[in-house]
Structure 1
Amino acid sequence: MSRRALLVEDDNAIATVITAGLEGEGFSVDVEDSVAGRDTALAGGRYDVMLTDVMLTDGDGIETLGKVRDAFPELPIIILSAQNTLDTAVRAIDRGAFEYFPKPFDLEEVVRAARQAADSAAQGSAEASEQGDGLPLIGRSKPMQDVYRLITRVLHNDLSVLVLGESGTGKELVAEAIHELGGRKTGPFVAVNTAAIPRELIESELFGHEKGAFTGATSRNIGKFEEANGGTLFLDEIGDMPAEAQTRLLRALQSGRIRRVGGSEEIAVDVRIIAATNRDLAPLIDDGTFREDLYYRLNVVPIKLPPLREREGDVEPLARHFLSRATQDGLPRRGLSGGAARLLEQQSWRGNVRELQNLVYRAALLAREDVIDAATIANVLDDRPDSGAAGEGQEGKIGEAVTQWLSTQRFGDGELYHAALAELERPVFCHALRRTAGNQFKAAQMLGINRNTLRKRLADLGIDPEDFSPG
């Protein structure tokens, strides 16, 4: 007997593609395009899995899942959504979805999930919970969708999470999201930057100390573990933790008990651990500065945050979000012009989201009009520490950046020179066009090259001068 799938999708093209994929996997597929059609189909037959879009012709596919869950608690549900936000992913999982896929999705993954759902054990009824506004992560790019899906999978368990990513990518925001949206949200969230604590004080900071434990310990002090009891302890920059503190941390994680410095009593603590680092821990393990057993204890679920330069399309919504936040911090209310948004999208953002936020705040402060234009953004960009002419040590920084970029690439024979040259040329040409508002004649003069040469190189690099014009 073939397995039956109910597909609720109001886009005929998408429905056709998914239906073909499911039928190729042996499913018999019924298709509906509305909440009402879904309910009628469910009432009239038994299904092994349901796949549903979020926004349907007559309602929200997620918000109405409650009654489906009540009537069919064993039916696995897969959510398909073009509303690719963390809120959508969390609502889908909290309302009992077996899996969540943002659009555009990989058809093979959707079919695989449908097969697994149909073959899985009966699903327990899901507890629906209302989610408020102000979720901490913003972005609809494909890399961020992968992050959202991982977050939803660790919300209702206590597995240790290791958040990886460059400085400024928002690692603490991920930890906050897991805490605030998960099962420990009623408990405390305690964050500690292990790199900012002196080596001689880190054990006291984490585990507390008794009076007289060391010079200056004039009273008993509870540590971060006790503060976080019943909640979440976020250990930032874990790669910089001293070796002796690593040993005590490992013991605490293994036993669920801690001992204050200078004390003899063991204290039971119930804490979920989320750690984060911007460093590659593998070389630290190899040279003995980071314990391998601690790494495996922390790295149960790794979540890698993408740098902002890899999050295509996320810069503008982030910038607009920060402009909204800026008004809460006493800055004037500002809009963002299309030209300003395009200019922001063209930057590499070495400081990631944190750098973008700081720049947007400065632009909101310095702008003379209610809408921030491209010229204001260009001026603020030029004020960045690394935006001026090459001074002492600047050549070394550029060389270091090129070396780092080359180490991440793979080239075939005869490709390296031209690929590296294009990577170096692009920011130079963009800078010239930005400073001349897209005027190719003036940009060629600034660069000291022939205008025809400039045009050819711009075409080769896929750079459109119109993106830099005030219009």
Structure 2
Amino acid sequence: MKPIWIVDDDQSIRFVLEKALAREDLAVRSFTNPRDVLAAMDENDEPQVLVSDIRMPGGSGIELLSKVKERHPGLPVIIMTAYSDLDSAVSAFQGGAFEYLPKPFDVPKAVELIRRAVEESLREEVRDGAQAQMPEMLGQAPAMQDVFRAIGRLSQSVVTVLITGESGTGKELVAGALHKHSPRANGPFVAINTAAIPKDLLESELFGHERGAFTGAQTTRRGRFEQADGGTLFLDEIGDMPFDLQTRLLRVLSDGQFYRVGGHNPMRANVRVIAATHQNLEDRVKQGVFREDLFHRLNVIRLRLPALRERREDVPSLAKFFLQKSARELGVETKRITDAAVARLMKFDFPGNVRQLENICHWLTVMAPAQVIEPKDLPPELMGEGTPRAAAPAAEAAEAPPVAHAVPQAAAVAEVAAPAASAPGGDWLSGLEQDARQMLLSGAPEVWDALTRKFEAQLIHTALEITRGRRIEAAQKLGIGRNTITRKIQELGLDD
């Protein structure tokens, strides 16, 4: 294992940390200024963890953090700071610091923090460290391997394919892969969600229109079939296509001929059609809302995509990818997720499938308080509390692939975050009333002081839990001074 690097111009700080880490059998290398650190890195030396002061002669710890992250993005950096440097500590987090260590610090707690950073660094190395490029689709589960094999077998074919599966399983991504690995790969790939376009406009979208065909048709427009000529047309949510349009679609699939809206000259398009639906088309046929002959025309090869709950072993790699993707899109440092948090994710059923997992990872990138995501940082629905936030919108949103190319919309992120910020209910007030009534009726002494102590102790305990023991940050969140929280902790016996 590589050594821990300590950067501080204060000899006493370096001495204390060196001795404490040596007792833990951790190798240490010390520096007095950032310049020497960068010079050592120029010689291809690299630490397992970097612990740096913020204010030093000859350079700032924040500037050092920025330069180190450019060279080694995955390196955990712990910033040491006094309370007066709290603004700088915020900048450190924004710059990708693993954690900050307030001075004066408790030595055992400092060692524990460094040990945690070391474990995270080693875990990242095992997980392939800096992942340069992800494959177009992820999946080690047997159900996904079956999908990959099917795509391989179809790679030399242009046969019509019907993709089925729940919303959010990645049907469009599979359709894109079928096109990419087919003889038509050099042609266009055109996708349309037939359920997302109003019935009156869908015909024009598919087949185009002539100038003057209807009010507002000021120019001739090519439809999706013409745009996809020589390539692939992906018809998503085909089960929701209006019945009268199904007849026109069947005609195109039969002989490749169609008419633009308002047109009189037949058009031809050499198009491979891939269709997808989350519905049971056999049932739609029995209900009389889907043409049986069109169903048989589309159902040449059927490819079923598994729900995420059927491939739980893929959750860790997908979560890691989505955290990297969200961080890259937001321009922030990628957050890391602990094994315990991943285990919690794997227990969840994900009714919104991979799209829901992506939204949750985006939410965590924005809302998780630290760089390392622990189980307590996960949204409430993953902890068995409340109703799933992402389930309802996931079933209604446009299809998103397992490795999606679209940033989750801000509204979706806000929707995921909203319940966590909702106003507290009245249950705790009812409990307080019952306790007060019981104590007052029984003649208990000093009711005011007793209940006030319980209230303050619970508030401070919760704030410290959220900030992982950081008193200054807890005081800020509570809106009280740092001296106040220190005094209250002593008075209430919360140090024990």
TM-score between the two structures when normalised by the length of structure 1: 0.53
Query: Would you say how many aligned residue pairs link Structure 1 and Structure 2?
Result: 259
Q: CA deviation at 1:133?
A: 5.5
The answer (yes or no) to whether the contact 2:162–2:274 under 8 Å persists in 1 is yes
Separation in structure 2 between the aligned mates of residue 186 and residue 155 of structure 1, nearest angstrom: 13
Structure 2 match to 1:141: 141
Q: Which amino acid aligns with 1:266?
A: P
Q: CA deviation at 1:273?
A: 0.6
Q: CA deviation at 1:222?
A: 0.6
The answer (yes or no) to whether the contact 2:158–2:182 under 8 Å persists in 1 is no
Structure 2 match to 1:373: 374
Q: CA deviation at 1:367?
A: 1.9
Q: How does 1:79-94 map to 2 (within 5 A)?
A: none
2:322 maps to 1:298: no
Q: How does 1:379-394 map to 2 (within 5 A)?
A: 379=380, 381=382, 386-387=387-388
The answer (yes or no) to whether the contact 1:162–1:299 under 8 Å persists in 2 is yes
Structure 1 match to 2:102: none
Separation in structure 1 between the aligned mates of residue 273 and residue 355 of structure 2, nearest angstrom: 24
Change (3 A) 1:256 1:133: farther
Structure 2 match to 1:268: 268
Separation in structure 2 between the aligned mates of residue 251 and residue 149 of structure 1, nearest angstrom: 32
Separation in structure 2 between the aligned mates of residue 214 and residue 220 of structure 1, nearest angstrom: 11
Change (3 A) 1:293 1:154: same
Superimposed CA distance per residue, residues 198-217 of structure 1 (whole angstroms, 9 cap, x where no aligned partner): 11111111000001112221
Separation in structure 1 between the aligned mates of residue 289 and residue 295 of structure 2, nearest angstrom: 11
The answer (yes or no) to whether the contact 1:238–1:275 under 8 Å persists in 2 is yes
Q: CA deviation at 1:332?
A: 3.2
Change (3 A) 1:134 1:249: farther
Separation in structure 1 between the aligned mates of residue 314 and residue 220 of structure 2, nearest angstrom: 47
Superimposed CA distance per residue, residues 218-252 of structure 1 (whole angstroms, 9 cap, x where no aligned partner): 11111000111111100000000001110000100
Structure 2 match to 1:363: 364
Separation in structure 2 between the aligned mates of residue 155 and residue 147 of structure 1, nearest angstrom: 12
Q: CA deviation at 1:134?
A: 4.5
Structure label with greater radius of gyration: 2
Superimposed CA distance per residue, residues 38-81 of structure 1 (whole angstroms, 9 cap, x where no aligned partner): xxxxxxxxxxxxxxxxxxxxxxxxxxxxxxxxxxxxxxxxxxxx
Superimposed CA distance per residue, residues 342-396 of structure 1 (whole angstroms, 9 cap, x where no aligned partner): 00000010000000000011111112222211111154746997249xxxxxxxx
Higher relative contact order (CA 8 A, sep 6+): 2
Separation in structure 2 between the aligned mates of residue 366 and residue 380 of structure 1, nearest angstrom: 15
Change (3 A) 1:264 1:228: same
Structure 2 match to 1:170: 170
SS of residue matched to 1:369: coil
Separation in structure 2 between the aligned mates of residue 292 and residue 384 of structure 1, nearest angstrom: 44
SS of residue matched to 2:313: coil
SS of residue matched to 1:196: coil
Separation in structure 1 between the aligned mates of residue 205 and residue 221 of structure 2, nearest angstrom: 9
Any unmatched runs of 5+ in structure 2?
Answer: 1-131, 393-467, 469-496
SS of residue matched to 2:217: coil
CA RMSD of aligned residues (A): 2.2
Q: Which amino acid aligns with 2:247?
A: T
Q: How does 1:183-262 map to 2 (within 5 A)?
A: 183-262=183-262
Percent identity for Structure 1 against Structure 2: 46
SS of residue matched to 1:191: strand
Q: CA deviation at 1:135?
A: 3.5
Q: CA deviation at 1:259?
A: 1.3
Structure 2 match to 1:157: 157
Separation in structure 2 between the aligned mates of residue 133 and residue 180 of structure 1, nearest angstrom: 18
Separation in structure 1 between the aligned mates of residue 300 and residue 254 of structure 2, nearest angstrom: 13
Change (3 A) 1:387 1:158: closer
Separation in structure 2 between the aligned mates of residue 215 and residue 369 of structure 1, nearest angstrom: 56
The answer (yes or no) to whether the contact 2:235–2:275 under 8 Å persists in 1 is yes
SS of residue matched to 1:309: helix
Q: CA deviation at 1:174?
A: 0.4
TM-score between the two structures when normalised by the length of structure 2: 0.50
